[in-house]
Structure 1
């Protein structure tokens, strides 16, 4: 969760920055591929921060929520959205190209500490606070959660008698899974499916965004990694398989920030976290992805309704 998310491509998406090679000195945020803009809420501000996002609609939407909440406090904000996957945007925040980004507690913890075994929200958050690299910190987590999941069609669930992920074990020879490319090498992916459930699919198809949903809907794959706030689940009647051993764990939305900027942004961003819950997040994502509303309009409406503007 990665986390790259499997959501319909909306007007949010800009050019995706290529994944930076390990050890590369290339700046992942180049002028040619970034989607930066600056704004402020009238008058000069002594504080300026750059808000980034991963390359899927929910991430950019959350980036806009953070940006507007900060601007409401008189902070000058530069937007650097649709950077890429976690592998890329973590290079950006540790390198100082961005200062703030919305993250997901369980996915980030699992990325930073492959041996982490906690799954309950507060335990995951406490472990994450200890695991973040020097120079970074996480602020208050929100109640809003968007988890990794494996989804199948109703037809496949009926034909294979599927209710939970372990039920896939009896059909490995026929199992084809669609997911973002990173799913192949992550614990919250094929690695974990093997180590936790002893499941290895016959084929893995690396697909992004709407292509993953379409592949599942059209029967090209038997299962897909789709995230829990994705409106395509309800729209297509997909069945999300239960995860009894908590491979995917809890994944609360949380601001990841550079330590040097934490004092400046924590009041505004902690206020966002205090108000943001899963239904509100899912509704905003639907408005952006399905209803094709502009993310800045959706973010402003929610912040206003939450009393944060």
Structure 2
């Protein structure tokens, strides 16, 4: 590499240091304080049903692995704030989402294609992104089954087949990860008219865990050109907070925790079921907890 030119990963790493000023990244120290902590590992969460139930899954699986764990008394306002709490040493582990975390970087840094490498290089020393679950809590683009059949839609690239102009809208249209009509046209050459957050748009931008997807039998369109950034859920940890046995236990959750499973768990919590109960029932159903 030529002198004075920084790689994208190095830029991201420096940006994370700017964001997490409490991490001590500049002088090589993690700054978490977790190496000096006594007592149980503290799990943090934001207020969303998804975060609360995933945190409960982490708590149950770590407890079963012999690790002493408790849930933080503070509920954070957003996944970004929860991640900052891990870096600052206030908590030892929390559910995090790939692109949500990287979008919090100053200057809107773009990320390289290899998300695992990006997270590994970007995070301060002592903070670790464990392997992600299959589940995502990002946005998806969906259409009704009737619309899919009418225009033979299975992929975003198929939108160009539609006769007449379709509208793009939906409850997650304002999400930072939501594609715009411009980005879709650039990637797929399709022309859509923006309908804002209207739920009556022809093409809907929704959260991947939105119950309407299952309830209304919507068809989620694939995104072969990856216009929509990945939002897999993963455990963000302070390295001293979770031992090797705990990390192995957490990894067993990754395959069975799909987006559909996460959506169902979140729906149960939104309906009033305690996150811990929902987590235990699910873990037992998957043979991960006695």
Which of 100, 104, 110 lines up with 1:115 in the alignment?
110
TM-score by length of 2: 0.66
State whether residues 105 and 124 of structure 1, in contact with CA within 8 Å, keep that contact through their aligned partners in structure 2.
yes
Which of 236, 256, 278 lines up with 2:216 in the alignment?
236
Cα deviation for residue 128 of structure 1 reads 2.0
Which protein shows a greater Rg? 2
TM-score by length of 1: 0.62
1:163 to 1:140, Cα distance in 2 relative to 1, 3 A: closer
169-178 vs 222-231, which deviates more?
169-178
Q: Counterparts in 2 of 1:1-309, with a 5 A limit?
A: 46-72=38-64, 73-79=66-72, 83-105=76-98, 108-109=101-102, 114-118=109-113, 123-145=114-136, 148-158=139-149, 162-168=153-159, 175-180=167-172, 183=175, 185-186=176-177, 189-190=179-180, 193=184, 196-197=187-188, 201-205=193-197, 216=199, 219=200, 221-248=201-228, 250-259=230-239, 261-262=240-241, 264-278=242-256, 282-283=260-261, 285-289=263-267, 292=271, 293-304=273-284, 305-308=286-289
Structure 2 unmatched ranges of 5 or more: 1-18, 22-36
Secondary structure class of the residue paired with 1:246 = coil
- Alpha-carbon distance in structure 1 between the residues aligned to 2:159 and 2:196: 14
Q: Deviations over 1:231-273 (max 9, x none)?
A: 43222111111212022355443211134x34x3553243122
Secondary structure class of the residue paired with 1:175 = strand
Q: Deviations over 1:107-143 (max 9, x none)?
A: 545665743242xxxx432332112245521123334
State whether residues 151 and 240 of structure 1, in contact with CA within 8 Å, keep that contact through their aligned partners in structure 2.
yes
Cα deviation for residue 52 of structure 1 reads 2.0
1:56 to 1:160, Cα distance in 2 relative to 1, 3 A: farther
Cα deviation for residue 65 of structure 1 reads 0.8
1:180 to 1:226, Cα distance in 2 relative to 1, 3 A: closer
How many residues end up aligned between the 2 structures?
247
Q: Deviations over 1:31-53 (max 9, x none)?
A: xxxxxxxxxxxxxx943333222
1:236 to 1:181, Cα distance in 2 relative to 1, 3 A: closer
Query: Counterpart in 2 of 1:6?
Result: none
Secondary structure class of the residue paired with 2:246 = helix
State whether residues 172 and 201 of structure 1, in contact with CA within 8 Å, keep that contact through their aligned partners in structure 2.
no
- Alpha-carbon distance in structure 2 between the residues aligned to 1:307 and 1:126: 28
State whether residues 132 and 233 of structure 2, in contact with CA within 8 Å, keep that contact through their aligned partners in structure 1.
yes
Structure 1 unmatched ranges of 5 or more: 1-22, 26-44, 206-214
Q: Deviations over 1:143-196 (max 9, x none)?
A: 44555311122244345553322444679965242244762x44x543854664
Q: Deviations over 1:48-96 (max 9, x none)?
A: 3332223432221101111223334241413357633334333333333
- Alpha-carbon distance in structure 2 between the residues aligned to 1:247 and 1:266: 36
Secondary structure class of the residue paired with 2:139 = coil
1:51 to 1:89, Cα distance in 2 relative to 1, 3 A: same
Cα deviation for residue 300 of structure 1 reads 1.5
